[in-house]
Amino acid sequence: MDDATTDPVVVVGAGYAGVMAANRLGDVRLLMTGGSSSCGPEALFGPISVATVRNLHADAVFMSASTVAGGVIYHPAAEAAELKREMPAASSLKVLYADHTKFTRTALHKVCDVTDFDVVIVDAETSSEITNPIAEAGVRVVHAGSGKR
């Protein structure tokens, strides 16, 4: 086998909690994007983190959404929105996860469109009124914990 099939999984993240949770899984390599904590103490954002993501290519991105309105993902902080905007472009498989509460509000800064993702994972409480247009746009919708797809 070559190195690509024997090396540990590499987890790239801007948020401390997610990277540390991945660390507890065992055989993983961790890479923080760098940057500053100007948007809060739980993650690193800014030009350094954006440049890091632009110079990487991941097999998959798993990204949360602060809000989703009208098929558009938003974030309240400009620096976080800028970093999140780069993540799907740097990945082959793009997965968004958002529970039902994310579809009831909006925020100031556009991240990207829901159709930029291959899969959207929602909770069982997310209504078909919300998920049907996403699925009709060609994005696979998975209802976590419900057995529905």
Domain membership of residue 70 (yes or no) is: yes
Least confident of 37-41, 87-91, 125-129, 133-137: 37-41
H/E stretch holding 49 reads helix 47-54
Domain membership of residue 149 (yes or no) is: no
**CATH label of the domain that carries residue 92:** 3.40.50
pLDDT in tens, 92-110: 999 999 999 999 999 999 9
pLDDT in tens, 4-58: 566 778 888 888 888 888 889 888 888 888 887 766 668 888 899 999 999 999 8
Count of domains for the chain: 1
Domain that holds residue 140: 3-144
Nearby residues of 35 by Cβ (< 8 Å), 6 or more positions away: 14, 44, 45, 46, 47, 48, 49, 50, 52, 79, 83
Contact status, residue 10 vs residue 31, Cβ threshold 8 Å: yes
Q: Which long-range contacts (CB under 8 A, 24 or more apart) does 141-145 make?
A: 144/97
